[in-house]
Amino acid sequence: MAQLTTPAIICAVRAHGEHGAVVRALTPGNGLMAGYVRGGRSRAMRPVLIPGNRVQAEFRVRTAEQLASLMVELSHSLAPILAEPLPAAAIEWVCALTAVTLPEESGYPALYDALGAVLDAIEAAPAARGWAVALVRYELLLLAHLGFGLDLSGCVATGAGPESLRYVSPRTGAGVSAEGGQSYEAKLLPLPAFLRDGGGEADWAAIFSGLALTRHFLEQSVLTERRADVLSGRDRLVDRLKRAVA
């Protein structure tokens, strides 16, 4: 019997049978892993098996074809902030995105760290502007790890450097400068400065431009067919953000 004990972030929970649950959790070394939690729907386990919670997980499996059994011990709970609609929607979205897009048991230590950082930002920030930038960056990082990253190394049309970029081609994900995009602005996606420059603060206009940019490539390249259903959660989140800052 193989056994793995590791820190993990709960990403998705699905009822299984009368009392159990199938849990998908992101681990630092083994990526997304699935396991069956006996009694996962019990009163004692429901507060533990919440997407976004950090746990100490113990996976045990007899054969490679068998779903692992999983035991979890709570390390840190996000339950206290789930009564707030915006943080709750953000946690639901970022965990669902991770659960449906990453292949199982492929290590993504940078994504594990980045997801933890987004969740920390959501928990710590008094307002959504404090974590919205981190959410956009996480979406871009996930796209890059899945092979659909943007090319912001320079203008694909003129060869100008990255500092000149103002747009992104919606078809290829390549950066385009203001000069290179002349007469085509309506067909290109605006590139907010905080993504071009790799840092700095962002106002809401830039944040919503970033969210529109990442949504386009998530829908085009990753959230296709049955996976597209999770986009409704993201759209609800963005609608709530827009109403909150209106």
Query: Tell me, what's the pLDDT at 37?
Result: 96
State the distance between the two ends of the chain, measured CA to CA, in whole angstroms: 56
Query: Tell me, what's the pLDDT at 200?
Result: 72
Query: Tell me, what's the pLDDT at 246?
Result: 81
Mean pLDDT per 10-residue interval, the chain, length 246 residues: 91 91 97 95 94 97 86 96 94 97 94 98 87 96 97 97 97 97 96 88 94 97 92 95 91
Please enumerate in sequence order all residues whose Cβ is within 8 A of that of 30, keeping only pairs 6 or more positions apart, or say none.
4, 6, 105, 107
Domains and CATH numbers, the chain: 1-77 (2.40.50.140), 80-152+191-246 (1.20.1440.120)
pTM: 0.94
